[in-house]
Structures are given as structure tokens and as C-alpha cells.
Structure 1
């Protein structure tokens, strides 16, 4: 059972997703995100547990959000009151998953028949409608305009930010001896305008060892590769060295 950290008094559970519980606090506009050890894949058709995943994902996210803050990327991170929890600024979330790809992997293989591991000439930015009932479908710019999710000017801001995040994180992970294959971002509106939200962890990033392309992310759970707990801990140890 998860323990809610002490500190800012929690008022109520606002939302529970596959990976986190979000609580209100006694500070207006401040939320408490409690990261879970639960693991899901394939739209929750596969379920399991990764030992200490909540602590790993919260700590890696906090570390990377600090790096992005230092680089001038607005994000919702405030502090880390406990190993498995973060205080976050409340955002009005945009129902888009923004995926940046540097190397062909995952669904890009099945949609394009390109070989897994092919390095892309330039980063590819894709948008998915964050809607569980519809299975989070891939959208193009015209779909986004049709649904009224954001304006085209706002979408351009999102794309620019996502590419900036990609450059910062790719360089950081390279220094850790890790290739950033692809990753998912979510954005919302807050006091800083367009603001990066959600998390940055092996749950929503594909990470391969630079020496041998060994998988270090949640694909180990998705595809029963074994060594899931150890891989998450390895990523954490490498990240915290820089």
C-alpha cells in the first residue's frame, strides 16, 4: 500500500492513473503526485509490479526536471518530499501525448516497416490523442485542429519545446552512456504559459545502452525480457552521477 508523504497536508485523491496517484494539498495550485510500483503495458492489458519503480521514476523525473529548469524549459516540478512522491504545479492539461523519436522502435516499426534501430535523419515528432476509450490514436495537425485541442500556433510552440527537450535529454543521456531512442511528453497551461508536465522516466522513454543497445526501459516488462528491476535501478544510478 502506498504511503502519502507528510509535509503539505493532503486533502483528497484528485485522480488515479496507471502509474500515479494525484492528491490535492493545502497549498492552492500545488498537487502531490505519488508514484506507484504498478506496471502496465498494451493499454493495461498486461499488468505487473516493478520493485521500487515508484521511487526510481519519481527520482529520475525530479533530476531531469531540474536539468530542464536550468535550461529554461518551463515545467511543473516543485520539489521531492519523499523518494516516491513529487510536489507539482497544477496545470490545465492538453489531451495530447507528444512523442519524439530519434531511432526507429516500437509502433513506428509496425506503422512504417522501417527496421528497428534505424537512426532517423532528424527527430520525428508525433501526436497522439490522449483518450483511453479510443486507444490513444495517432493524430495529424488537421485532426488536432478539428478536435480543437490547441491552435496551430500553440502546436508549433509544443513542437519547438519538445525538440528542445529532446536535445537536452539526448545530450544528458549520452553522457550517461545511454541512447535516448524515443520518449513521450505531456503539456498543460499554467502560470508560466505552456508548461511541461507528467514525468520523465524509463516508463515513458526508450533507453538503450550505448555499448550494446541493451534495453534499459519498460520494454523489458512489455516483452518479458527479464531483469526489469535491475534495469530501472541501473538507469537511476547512471542519471544520479550527473
Structure 2
């Protein structure tokens, strides 16, 4: 295998320089909890499932005209993506009260929200991803007002699509988060969806039972991380009922 330059490594992914200028290879790992307080142990097959699910979601978003960095899946653990300048913000869209929103505002977990709420957080593990306002964002230059407008518009469109997608598979989208980047094409720049959308970044409930189906699921056979992620993939028709989620993938180069 050719040695590849490692550009970035996070909790759940590694980015390598791509085969062509302006591209990167995104490798999905099995380790690294993506949610605060979640178990950080290695979960065999999680990276494979996240790769397949994110490919499925991003492919559909591209098809309906929502701009993303996704180009194509390369293998069981890798995607080819466009290189973008990441905006140091996490965008969270909430449809149902849960997690930090319930703790901050004293709203009962599971309570439907009057409308979908979009929140911004600074993308900083060291600071525990603090909530920030539009005033903070523009004052410190993390994003300009027109860029915030584009991110809000993306949030609404992505939420509408994901809500319907998961509802059709018997799941409720409680909330999800995503990141954006600046894609430069000649003299033009546009804001596009980057990173991933997978069970690492979505909170999902089984509609009939209201059991959690992703990172913080914890009931019975469906309660393991791999079990919850596999269930999401099967409901979306991405993997067959008996298809294993394990794939070693290429050996990583330090």
C-alpha cells in the first residue's frame, strides 16, 4: 500500500490526502465515542456501518440538490470527499427535547418542541463544545452573517429530509448535528455539508417502543452500540439481515 499523508485524526475518523488535488480520503474508525459521556471503547464494525449509512444519506442529499463534500465510497471504511475549509462550529437541530437541552432548560426528555430549534456550538473538545450565539460567531470571525444564513438554510432542508427518511423506516429523529465547510471553486466560494451524518451524530428512537437505536441505546439485544447501528442500517435497507458489519480495512500508516 502506498504511504498516505495523514491530514487529521478525530474521535471517529481519519482524513488522508486524496488521489487528486482538492480531495481527501475519509477513513471511519471503530473507536472513539462521538457523543459526550459515551463509551470510548472499540466497537467492532462501527466504522463500516457509519461509512455505509453516511454514504446513503449524503448520496440522497446530493441527489436533491443539497451540496455536500461526499463524492463516492471507496471501500468498506473509506470515502472520497472534497477538501473544504472547515468552519469551527457544530450545528445541532433539535425536534424533541433530549440530552443537554433538557438539562439546560429543565424540559422533560421526550417532550416535542414547539418547532425545530437550531443551535450553534464551538467545535472544541478542550472546551466541551460550548454553546455560542450568532453574536459570538460573527464577533470572533468564525463565520460571516451570510454564511450563518446558508448554514441555517442547510439545517432546515437537511432536517426536513432526514425526518422523512427515518420516519419511513420506523424511526423518529430526535436531534442531529453536522458540520459545514467552505468549498472554493475558482473565484467562487460556497458553504456545503461536510464531515458525516450517521448514528454517531443522530439521536434516533424506534417509533413503536421509543427505544433508542444509536450511540446511547441500552436495552436488551438492541442495546449494544453495534446492535443499534446495525438496526439503523437494516431499516434503511443498507445491509441485509444477516450481513456482518466487520471489515478490517487497510492498515493505517502513522
The two structures have a TM-score, normalised by structure 1, of: 0.90
**1:81 aligns with one of 74, 81, 105:** 74
Tell me the CA shift for residue 49 of structure 1.
Answer: 1.7
Shift, 1:136, TM fit: 1.0
Native 8 Å contact 1:63 1:240 kept in 2: no
Is residue 155 of structure 1 aligned with residue 148 of structure 2?
Answer: yes
Answer yes or no: is 1:205 the counterpart of 2:202.
Answer: yes
Alpha-carbon displacement from aligned partner over 1:56-111 (angstroms, at most 9, x marks no partner): 00000000001101111000001111111111000000000000000001101100
Partner residue of 2:99?
Answer: 106
Q: Match for residue 173 of structure 2?
A: 180
Q: What is the 5 A alignment of 1:57-136?
A: 57-136=50-129
5+ residue gaps, structure 1: 1-5
Correspondence for 2:237: 240
* Runs ≥4 residues deviating over 4 A: 41-46
Measure, in 2, the Cα distance between the counterparts of 1:69 and 1:188: 15
For 2:124 and 2:196, locate their aligned partners in 1 and report how far apart those are by CA, in whole Å: 18
- Work out the CA distance in 2 between the residues paired with 1:58 and 1:139: 30
Aligned to 1:25: 18
2:54 touches 2:197 (CA, 8 Å); kept in 1?
yes
Equivalenced residue count is 232
Consecutive unaligned residues in structure 2, runs of 5 or more: 240-254
Cα drift, residue 177 of structure 1:
0.6
| 2:29 aligned residue (29, 36, 45) | 36
TM, length-normalised to structure 2: 0.86
| CA positional deviation for 1:240 | 2.4
For 1:219, the equivalent position in structure 2 comes to 216
For residues 62 and 91 of structure 2, the distance between their equivalents in structure 1, rounded to whole angstroms, comes to 19
TM-fit CA distance, 1:194: 0.7
Counterpart Cα distance in 2 of 1:142 and 1:55: 39
Cα gap change, 1:10 to 1:25, in 2 (>3 Å) = farther
